[in-house]
Amino acid sequence: MKTKWLLTFPPELTGEPVTYTLIKNFNLKINILKASIDLNVSGNLLVLADGNKNEIDSALAWLGNTGVIVHPGDSQIVWNDALCVHCGACTAICPTKALSLDPSSWMVAFEGEKCLECGHCVPACPIGAISNNNGLHHA
């Protein structure tokens, strides 16, 4: 199973090889989607973790003990289907086609797994149908 985590590092843990441990000890395939982290400063790491349920659960338990804060979830970008008018203004802004237009229905679809959480879509939506709950700061 694949799961997306936003890991928030307190300053004292930014020197720890957390990604290495997740791979080595818990046998997870880790894909880093976004990193905003400096030594001794609080930072964030957005990862896609791939492994079986036991491995994922054990890794989550270990992360909890280290003090790294885990915000689990498919995506912290929330696309509100009920508000969307399906204009498409967000779709060429999105770098990974997580937001796309279906070429037959011409409706917008959001695939959280592809989302890098860059947040560029949020101001691109003229209706205000996209919001960002991930706490990452964007330029």
Residues lying near another protein in the complex (CB under 8 A): 85-93, 101, 103, 105-107, 120, 123-124, 126-128
CB of 115 to another protein, least distance (A): 16
Instruction: Output 71 or 86, the one with its CB closest to another protein.
Output: 86
CB of 138 to another protein, least distance (A): 12
Q: Whose structure tokens read 């843990």?
A: 13
Write out 66-126 in H/E/C secondary structure.
HCCEEEECCCCEEECCCCCCCCCCCCCCCCCCCEEECCCCCCEEECHHHCCCCCCHHHHCC
Instruction: Output 13 or 101, the one with its CB closest to another protein.
Output: 101
Instruction: Output 10 or 128, the one with its CB closest to another protein.
Output: 128
Contacts 24+ apart (CB under 8 A), 52-57: 52/1, 53/1, 55/26, 55/27, 55/28, 56/1, 56/3, 56/26, 56/28
CB of 91 to another protein, least distance (A): 4
Instruction: Output 46 or 90, the one with its CB closest to another protein.
Output: 90
CB of 44 to another protein, least distance (A): 23
Secondary structure (3-state) at 20: helix
- Write the single-letter amino acid at 118: C
CB of 123 to another protein, least distance (A): 4
Q: How many residues does the chain have?
A: 139
Instruction: Output 22 or 130, the one with its CB closest to another protein.
Output: 130
